[in-house]
Amino acid sequence: MKKIVKEELNRAVKNKGMVLALTIGIVIAVSHVIQCIIPAYHANEMMEFEKFPTIYPLTVSDTWLAGNQVSLESFLYFLVLPIIAVLPFGTSYFADGQSGFLRGIYVRIPRKKYLQAKYIAAFISGGLAVVLPLLVNLMFALVLLPNMSAATILPCNRMEAVNLFYTIYDSYPLVYIFLFLCLDFIMGGIFACIGLACSYLSDYKIIVAICPFFIQLTVHIIFSMLMKMEYSSVFFLQSGYGISAPWVVLLYIVIGIGLSAAVFLKKGEKEDVF
């Protein structure tokens, strides 16, 4: 099993899809640096903290890509997150079926092991594709902005005391950011695995690839219309928006992993590839 997982992981990380996903992500992350982080650095430089001690500088936790949900790049990044997650390995099962690779592999190893390895590799590749551009942006923010507790009076983002992990956000901003990076990794992995589960839906690769995006977009639109923004993954994945309904996040994770694994593994075992 370890050998197959290693092989699949190798395929998942070293491919053109990963390069494409990272390119999209890093373009958005760097444009956020140019649009928001560098101006924030200049704003901090211009502030006369000695003269006006009540002024608070712009910090890493309220300025980085996921820290401030009002910027165009933040909204865009989390809107196209399923596309970024699916690109590396989300459509690989479909592509393996089309190329005949599946027939070759199924005569050598048990289906179940191969499907499990594929699921793990897709999950990790999706998570990595989502988290790496965020890390690049965070590095820029750490270089240019102070890493200290964010302003609590007149905050720059939507963080409120009722949000989950608020005390951590207030005391250890980097730990709070790390927790959200983990959550983004998990959701990226889930979207990639939804792509795998959608492999049985169509004969066209593009439809398999676009499914997770449409699922997230539909959910986002419905919750926006119901004025329940905190239930949309476009918002709760951003550390600057915070989590005010933890059970919703838990539901997303349980349903996402449970349903995608059940559909992909069960259907994969029964599917006739010969």
Contact footprint for other proteins (CB under 8 A): 24, 72, 75-76, 79-80, 83, 87, 204-207, 209-210, 213-214, 217, 221, 224-225
Q: Judged by CB, which is closer to other proteins: 21, or 261? A: 21
Taking the complex as a whole, the smallest distance from the CB of residue 24 to other proteins amounts, in Å, to 7
Rounded (5°) CA angle 23-9-113? 145
Distance separating alpha carbons of residues 215 and 220, to the nearest angstrom = 9
Nearer to other proteins, 50 or 203 (CB): 203
Smallest separation, CB 72 to other proteins (Å): 5
User: From the CB of 170, what's the least distance to other proteins, in Å?
Assistant: 30
Closest distance to other proteins from the beta carbon of 79 (Å): 5
Closer CB to other proteins, 217 or 245, in the complex: 217
State the nearest-atom distance from the C-beta of 123 to other proteins, in Å. 20
Structure tokens at 6: 């290693």
Instruction: State which residue, 72 or 161, has the beta carbon closest to other proteins.
Output: 72
Query: How many of the other CB atoms lie within 10 Å of CB of 100?
Result: 10
Smallest separation (angstroms) from other proteins to the CB of 231: 16
Query: Which two three-digit tokens encode residue 141?
Result: 């923010």
Which residues make Cβ contacts (< 8 Å) with residue 55, sequence separation at least 6? Answer: 47, 48, 49
- How many CB atoms sit inside 10 A of residue 186's CB? 21
d(CA 175, CA 80): 25
Which residues, 6+ apart, have CB-to-CB distance to 266 below 8 Å? none
First to last CA, the chain: 23
- Which residues are CB-contacts of 59 (< 8 A; sequence separation ≥ 6)? 145, 146, 147, 148, 149, 150, 151, 173
CA 47 – CA 189 distance, rounded (Å): 41
Residue number with CB closer to other proteins (75 or 172): 75
Q: Provide the 8-state DSSP code for 150.
A: P
145 within 8 A of 56, measured Cβ to Cβ: no
To other proteins, the closest distance from the beta carbon of 214 in angstroms equals 7
Q: Which is nearer to other proteins, 69 or 260 (CB)?
A: 69
Q: Which is nearer to other proteins, 12 or 115 (CB)?
A: 12
* Overall size of the chain counted in residues: 274
